[in-house]
Structure 1
Amino acid sequence: MKVSILTVVYNGAATIRHCIESVLAQDFPDIEYIVVDGNSKDGTQEIVGSYGGKIAQFVSEPDAGIYDAMNKGIQLATGDVIGILNADDFYAYPSVISDVATVLSANDIDASYGDLEYIDANDATVVKRKWVSGAYKIGAFLNGWMPPHPTFFVKKSVYDTHGNFRLDLGSAADYELMLRFVHRGKIRLAYVPKTLVKMRAGGVSNSNLKNRIAANRNDRLAWKINNLEPRFYTLWLKPLRKIIQFI
């Protein structure tokens, strides 16, 4: 099994090295690492370039945003499985990809996911909250559930069948993709009960009330465009679930 890891970045010089090092430290033998940069101006290109052949493919050009860049990376990927690691994130330990590959191979499934820790933006040792996903149950999306996207590893054949990220849903594009794959498409899903990724706190969709309202609106649209009907409480439970992550 070959695993393609994709990192998209724009002006991420402050964190991209940590992200890259966490990928290169993985003990899995067959990783294709792809970095798609949005034509950064802060030294990101030089940092990525310094790793030479350790990065299989490096593209740097203007794009239409993070999900457009992710789509470019998916098209470039030649692996059997694709994982997406944001430039502000890093893998929690060196055998993350090995653990994921073992689960995907042993269970003949289409995708896997795990847990995620939000860490302080300035101190990676300080955990702000923990997203414990739990095992997936059919219909879980109706109860506001979703897996953390940076821990979501998907076979490339699923993208080929069900499509890539939509560019008209703002920060809800990853939610819509997982809703489409898992809830609508009913792909076979497995849970890796470990913290796979550490993410620096400060996501755009949750940074203020205005952004949260916009995210909720796009979440609703995600159901509509897939011809799905949420329950009356579905999209209110989704943000409320995050409160539990602080406990």
Structure 2
Amino acid sequence: MNYPRISIVTPSFNQGEHLEQTILSVISQNYPNLEYVIIDGGSTDNSVEIIKKYESYLSYWVSEKDEGQYYAIKKGFSHTKGEIMGWINSSDLLYPWTLNTLAMLFNEFDIIEWVTGLPTHISAGTGPQNVSQHKFINKYDIIGFNHKWIQQESTFWRRTVWNKVNGLDLNFKSAADFKLWIDFFKYTDLYFMNTILGCFRFHNTRRGAEKVYEQEVNNLITELRKNNIRDRIKSDFIKYLTLNSSLLKRKLSHKKTFSWYRHPEIFYDFTSNRWRIK
């Protein structure tokens, strides 16, 4: 098997309680061509001690005051060269099969430039306490305000599309990830993989951030609708046809009723023992 280089970045600030679990969720996979970078924002807890414990597994790390999470992520990726990219925040987790699964997928399908797995969530421990079904989304769903969330912890992409959009837009302090997804959609479809890849952890330090994030997302979508009249018309047409029915929306997508309205899925075919695109 060919093992493409995978670049994972973890931004961190005073997350010593969970940081070690996050690190172990990445390095314990023993993926043979991994670039793992940690950018710490000058933590005053035991984070640096934890990072030093695992520094032999890291391609690069630093602990210094910075301008926030997204600045740290973009800075981290500037120290990488991998053809597959993703970030995992310092309290979240990857699953033991994630990196090998991504390698198989991106090796097999040149058409795929970014992919997301089933959303999962955790509060305590190391295993998922909730697994959600996909909320299938493309740019027309976003423009129609039909869906506002793509789980970042479960989403990975090729460096080629990252370079096309010049990475994260640091003008957005809370929803720069959502702006990145919008930029990706300008070039390629998001593929939905029927497995779990990453896990978001709920904890107290994240409470209250949702409203700020949602406001930035709403502003982004409003601007997108204003500047993309043709896409807005298509989006409103789909919304009218489906009346917000997710089942009808999927039928339109799967039957390819409109060539421009797609939600491509990736599923595992147990007969042939390989991933396939539906």
TM-score range, shorter chain: 0.7 to 0.9
Of stretches 109-118 and 187-196 in structure 1, the one that deviates more from structure 2 is 187-196
Instruction: Give the Cα separation in 2 of the matches to 1:41 and 1:90.
Output: 22
Q: Distance in 1 between matches of 2:210 and 2:97?
A: 35
Q: Identify if the C-alpha distance between structure 1 residues 55 and 135 changes in structure 2 by more than 3 Å, giving closer, same or farther.
A: same
What are the residue-to-residue correspondences of 1:98-109 with 2, within 5 Å?
98-108=100-110, 109=112
From the superposition, tell whether residues 168 and 203 of structure 1 become closer, same or farther in structure 2 (CA, over 3 Å).
farther
Per-residue deviation, 1:221: 2.5
Counterpart residue number, 2:29: 26
Deviation at residue 88 of structure 1 after TM alignment:
0.4
Cα separation, 2, equivalents of 1:165 and 1:139: 21
Q: Is the 8 A contact 1:112 1:189 kept in 2?
A: yes
8 Å CA contact 1:27, 1:95 repeated in 2: no
Work out whether residues 27 and 98 of structure 1, in 8 Å CA contact, stay in contact via their aligned partners in 2.
no
Structure 1: 5+ residue stretches without partners = 235-240, 242-247
Is the contact made by 2:154 and 2:198 (CA closer than 8 Å) also made in structure 1? yes
TM-score, normalised to structure 1, is 0.81
Match of 1:193 in 2: 194
Instruction: State the Cα deviation string for residues 13-55 of structure 1 (Å, max 9, x = none).
Output: 1111111111111143211111111011112111101113211
The aligned residue for residue 164 of structure 2 is 161
Q: Give the aligned partner of residue 255 of structure 2.
A: none
The structure, 1 or 2, with the larger RCO (C-alpha pairs under 8 Å, 6+ apart) is 1
SS of 1:8's partner is strand
Task: Return the alpha-carbon distance in structure 2 between the equivalents of residues 170 and 147 of structure 1.
Answer: 17
Q: CA deviation at 1:74?
A: 1.6
Deviations 1:154-177, CA, capped at 9 Å, x for gaps: 111212111222233232111111
Q: What's 1:237 paired with?
A: none
Report the Cα distance in structure 1 between the residues aligned to 2:113 and 2:148, rounded to whole angstroms: 19
Alpha carbons of structure 1 residues 96 and 43: separation in structure 2 relative to 1, 3 Å: same
What is the aligned partner in structure 2 of residue 238 from structure 1? none
Contact 2:148 2:217 in 1 (8 A): no
Letter in 1 for 2:108: A
What TM-score results when the alignment is normalised by the length of structure 2? Answer: 0.72
Task: Check conservation: 1:35, 1:73, Cα contact below 8 A.
Answer: yes
**Contact 1:19-1:91 within 8 A present in 2 as well:** yes
Structure 2 match to 1:115: 118
> Of 52, 55, 60, which residue of structure 1 is paired with 2:58?
55
Larger Rg computed on CA atoms = 2
